[in-house]
A and B are shown apart, each in its own frame.
Chain A
Amino acid sequence: MNLPANKKNISIVCFSGDFDKMIAAFTIATGAAATNREVTMFFTFWGLNALKKKKGRVAMGNSIMARAFNFLMGGLNNLPLSRLNFFGASSKLMTGMMKKHNVASLPELVDAAHALGIRIVACEMAMHILELEQSDLIEEVQDVVGVATFLNDSEESHIIFI
């Protein structure tokens, strides 16, 4: 990519697994990449749910606790709204409202992020706690890294925490 010298890179820490916050993260990421910035998205804790290969509720991991957590959290199709979730109905209602107003849906934003070459990395520690392997995550996850690697890679970047 041909980058102007004065444009900073963007690194987004995707901590929240909330539907609306994930929309915000992918909107900033794709907007930044489309306007010629290098973008990295670092997914940790609840954010990892958006990267699971299986997008519904599936028990993953070895221990009972990990399997229960992964089942209850689910994947991209189960992300809850941060407010007024109404037992999961609101994210579907919100998707309908977004479609009505020609706003890209979350899966469309995720596809755009992949097409734009946004670097997607997963947090090693959070994956360890949740007993997830890289093979449990979508193929677009380029690496599993620790916080030191993420910070080193983001030395010249704006870091945004969502």
Chain B
Amino acid sequence: MKHFLDITRETCPMTFVKVKLKLAKMDQGEQLEVLLNKGEPLENVPRSCEEQGFKVLSNEPTDDDKHLILIEK
């Protein structure tokens, strides 16, 4: 099952907080697609997920200068 989370309107620290809490509610093997802004969220959200042992499957820029990352729990 794939979940989606848009954190482009969130600011620090809720960017990381919302991703962390969303992943905590998901089951092992499920995927989360996160739309985020460049800068702090892009630098730290994928890193933080990998630290927890989750896989960042892809990290692609979007047409409107944001990024879409796919995480597998």
A residues neighboring B (CB under 8 Å): 1-4, 7, 27, 30-31, 33-36, 101-104, 108-109, 112, 115-116
Interface assignment of B62: CB less than 8 Å from any CB of chain A: no
- CB nearest to B12 among chain A residues: A31
A30 to B20, CA, bound (A): 10
Number of A-B contacts (CB under 8 A): 50
Interface residues in B2-24 (C-beta closer than 8 Å to A) = 9-14, 16-17, 19-21
A102-B9, A116-B17 known; A35 and B53 CB under 8 Å?
Answer: no
Q: Which residues of A contact B19 (CB under 8 A)?
A: 34
Contact of B48 among A36, A104, A115, A116 (CB under 8 A): A36
B44 interface contact, C-beta 8 A: yes
Among B11, B12, B17, B51, point to the contact of A36 (Cβ < 8 A): B51
Contact of B28 with A by CB under 8 A: no
A31 to B16, CA, bound (A): 7
Of the A-B pairs whose beta carbons lie under 8 Å apart in the complex, a sample of 21, sorted by A's number, is A1-B52, A2-B51, A2-B52, A31-B16, A31-B17, A34-B13, A34-B16, A34-B17, A34-B19, A34-B48, A35-B44, A35-B48, A36-B48, A36-B52, A102-B11, A104-B11, A104-B13, A104-B14, A112-B13, A112-B14, A115-B17
Chain B nearest CB from A29 CB (Å) reads 9
B20 near A34 (CB under 8 angstroms)? Answer: yes
Name B's A-contacting residues (CB within 8 A): 9-14, 16-17, 19-21, 44, 48, 51-53
Shortest Cβ-Cβ A-B pairs, 8 listed: A31-B13, A34-B16, A34-B20, A34-B17, A30-B13, A35-B48, A104-B14, A112-B17
Across the two chains, which residue of chain A brings its CB closest to B25? A115
**Contact: A116 with B20, CB < 8 Å?**
yes
Chain B residues whose CB sits within 8 angstroms of the CB of A31 once the complex forms: 12-13, 16-17
